[in-house]
Amino acid sequence: MSYSIVKEEELYMQLSSDLMDGLVLALLSHEDLYGYALTKQVQARFAVSESTMYPVLRRLKAKNWVTTYDEPFEGRNRRYYQISAAGRQELAEIQTAWQKFSQQVNEVILNPEVTANGE
């Protein structure tokens, strides 16, 4: 599954579900967040809908990469998401893979003549 991203400059890219998992885990590695606040943090950087985030959160919970707890707020409960130890381990693996992947993409996009010549 992938999620479409359209930036103001009309650059169109898709975020894979693995990358969405990494984005959410990275945000949760800094603080516990309730669903709406987490969605807003992602939306500050990427054009994703609210309806996109909740399936991601359910998937992360099913994989035991996040846990949830409820806190009362103005007469109702907010469900907070917290990264688990397994989620931190997965995030470390995603970060390692991302470093390698982004380096390879940058080598081609930022310096195509070197790639074309094989040097």
Full-model pTM: 0.82
45-55 mean pLDDT: 87
CATH of domain 17-117: 1.10.10.10
CB atoms within 10 A of CB 2: 12
**Using 50, 70 and 90 to split pLDDT, how confident is the model at 50?**
confident
Q: 46-83 as b/e, with b when 16 or more CB fall inside 10 Å?
A: bebeeebbeebbebbeeeebbbeeeeeeeeeeeebbeb
Per-residue pLDDT at 16 exceeds 70? yes
Q: Which two tokens stand for residue 11?
A: 């650059």
Higher pLDDT, 15 or 38: 38
pLDDT score of 11: 59
pLDDT in tens, 79-105: 999 999 999 999 999 999 999 999 998
